[in-house]
Amino acid sequence: MALILPAYAKLNLTLDVTGRRPDGYHEIDSVMQTISLHDLVWVERTDCRVFEVVGTPIDGENLVLKAARELEGRVSRNLPFTLRLFKRIPMGAGLGGGSADAAAFLRAANQLYDLKLTSTELVEVATNVGQDVPFFLSGGTARATGLGSTIEPLLPFPASWRFLVVCPPVAISTRSVYAAVDGTEPTAHRTPALVRALANENAIEFGNDLEGTSRRLFAALDEAIEPLRAAVPGMAMTGTGAAFFAGFQDQRDAEKALATVRRLGYPAWLCHPVPAAS
């Protein structure tokens, strides 16, 4: 038996950095949203472990394999599998592709091996894999607080909206960006405002406290965003970058913006919000 699951990318519609802990890690407050851009995770229960990536090779530690190790430790047994990962989400762009893949694997393995882990138990495993991974177990629209792994579901983002996602070819180090944030700059508190706007159907505003730091550290990102914003005003960064996005309530406006950005030569996608998994 094999399972094929989509692993949806996410956007940080807002990202507030609310403090720095004594251990150096940062507290955040973010509205996160899964979008239709996705990888595919094909998993089959087998007698030996085979892992294959179709698409762009993955640099550094693979979170799917880390998820497998954490899950095996939790259930105290080997879980051999054949897994083919079809990569579509740009890596190192703040779109959460690796975390989405890991969460899809955890859900698939729980079913394939009849592990009967509860949602709470899966979240515990996911948190050990990465702070973003718990969000991807269900996705949808949610508020992430603490280190990012404390998830509160929100009212679904309006399904009629479209997100233009643009990914300049700039390699961003998440570790370097957070290391440069010393906690002295006040947050813009965009997250509470967006939560209220979603609840009351008010005007929606996106934004990210980390943008200034990412642009200071990575000159190529700073150079890329100026022509993008000239073409499509109001673009916001997701994660630590390099991907930016803009939201549209009108499909035709979104398609025009997509055509404009593609003339600049950057990879771009038009996406819709994906609701939480049941």
Instruction: Return the active site residues.
Output: 10, 132
Q: What are phi and psi of 63, to 5 degrees?
A: -70, -25
CA dihedral of 222, 227, 230, 231, whole degrees rounded to 10: -130
Distance of CA 218 to CAs 70, 184, 246, Å?
A: 34, 20, 21
Q: Which two tokens stand for residue 235?
A: 């673009």
Helices within the chain (DSSP H only): 63-75, 97-112, 119-129, 133-136, 174-179, 190-200, 211-217, 219-231, 251-263
The residues with which 269 forms a beta bridge, in sequence order, are 165
The whole-angstrom separation of Cα 135 and Cα 148 is 8
Angle of CA points 144, 171, 243, to nearest 5°: 50
The vertex-156 CA angle with 136 and 13, nearest 5°, equals 65
Residue 44 structure tokens? 């089959």
